[in-house]
């Protein structure tokens, strides 16, 4: 059975810049076969866009709530959005 494919947009708050959060997100997304991107925002948050099989998008969303070892995540917003395919998962 083919998995439903979805895209999601997230904002991650807390101590998430300067702690390898974006690179670790990229590693996890690649492991899950997702495409999209992660970028730092001027207000200290990280913005993440991901596309792929629904189960894998939900797994990355759960991972974003914890992040890499040095991160201290306080909040993650999650919104499913219109499908958008990317060539790979990149760090902006």
HEC states along 50-88? EEEEHHHHHHHHHHHCCCCCCCEEEEEEEEEECCCCCCC
Query: What is the signed CA dihedral for 87, 57, 90, 67, rounded to 10 degrees?
Result: -170
Q: Which tens digit of pLDDT belongs to each residue from 15-64?
A: 999 999 999 999 999 999 999 999 999 999 999 999 999 999 999 999 99
Q: What angle do CA 75, 8, 63 make, to 5 degrees?
A: 50
Among candidate residues 30, 40, 72, 88, the one labeled active-site is 40
22 tagged catalytic:
yes
Task: Give all domains of the chain, ordered by start, each with its CATH number.
Answer: 5-91 (3.30.70.100)
- pTM here? 0.95
40 tagged catalytic:
yes
């Amino acid at each position: 059975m083919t998995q439903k494919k979805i895209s999601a947009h997230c904002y991650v708050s807390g101590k998430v810049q300067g702690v390898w959060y974006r690179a670790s997100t990229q590693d996890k997304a690649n492991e899950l076969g997702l495409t999209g991107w992660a970028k730092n925002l001027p207000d200290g948050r990280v913005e993440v866009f991901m596309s792929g099989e629904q189960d894998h998008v939900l797994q990355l969303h759960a991972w974003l709530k914890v992040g890499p070892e040095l991160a201290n995540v306080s909040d993650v917003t999650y919104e499913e959005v219109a499908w958008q395919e990317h060539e790979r998962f990149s760090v902006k």
